[in-house]
Amino acid sequence: MTTLGAIPAEGMAPSRPSGGAPGPDRATLEESLHPIVDALREEARHRSEDALARADEDADAVLRAAREEGDRILADARAEGEALAGQLSASLVADARRVAHEQILEAQRRLYEMVRQAAVRELEHRSESPGVGQLFARLESVVRARLGADAVVSRAGDGRVGVVGERDGLRVDLSAPVLVDLQLRSFNDVLEEFWG
């Protein structure tokens, strides 16, 4: 059996194994190693192709997972945005309704006050009419019915239509503004229908 010696470096003679027979020359050795080198290269190429294929598969899996996560985040954000928009919309509608209701109430209050003041002026304008004496007598009898016959009854001040009665710290005011307010309260159903 022949053993191969080490491959000599350039310019050096091949060494011979002990025992005397000359070893194969460099060209023969390279030629005999050529199929092994080719097989190693082929194996390395297959391994690198496999590694690249696995890397591509891993990259695809990572990209798929990232897309899925991105889609999930986008869906969550969209749902959150829709919920927030719904809440904001409901809040804006509620605010608009409240403001509209306040404006309606203010308009009703102003209209009521205009009607009230017009009615008070009209009633006071009638203080000079011939039937005002009968009105004072009727109002005085209402005050005495409430406070008693010994109540002190006087005409409302400043030439107003109406009377004011007092007895034992109790007071009944039947002046023009109070009479108008009482009359307007009796129209609450009509006013509610009008406002409705």
Instruction: Decide if pLDDT at 157 tops 80.
Output: no
3: confidence class by pLDDT, cuts 50, 70, 90 = very low
Dig out the tokens for 45 from the structure: 């190429």
CA distances from 66 to 59, 60, 76, 78 (A): 10, 10, 15, 18
Gap between the terminal Cα atoms of the chain: 122
Among 19-33, 41-55, 102-116, 167-181, whose mean pLDDT is lowest? 19-33
Q: Where are the beta strands (DSSP E) in the chain?
A: 152-155, 162-167, 170-175
Average pLDDT, stretch 118-127? 84
More confident residue, 121 or 4: 121
Q: How far apart (Å, rounded) are the C-alpha atoms in residues 150 and 110?
A: 40
Q: How far apart (Å, rounded) are the C-alpha atoms in residues 44 and 70?
A: 38
pLDDT of residue 165: 94
- pTM of the predicted model as reported, rounded to 2 decimal places: 0.51
In percent, how much of the chain has pLDDT > 70? 87
| Residue 131, C-beta contacts closer than 8 angstroms, at least 6 positions apart | none
29: confidence class by pLDDT, cuts 50, 70, 90 = confident
| Residue 104, C-beta contacts closer than 8 angstroms, at least 6 positions apart | 195
20: confidence class by pLDDT, cuts 50, 70, 90 = low
Do the beta carbons of residue 79 and residue 151 sit within 8 Å? no
Q: How far apart (Å, rounded) are the C-alpha atoms in residues 126 and 120?
A: 10
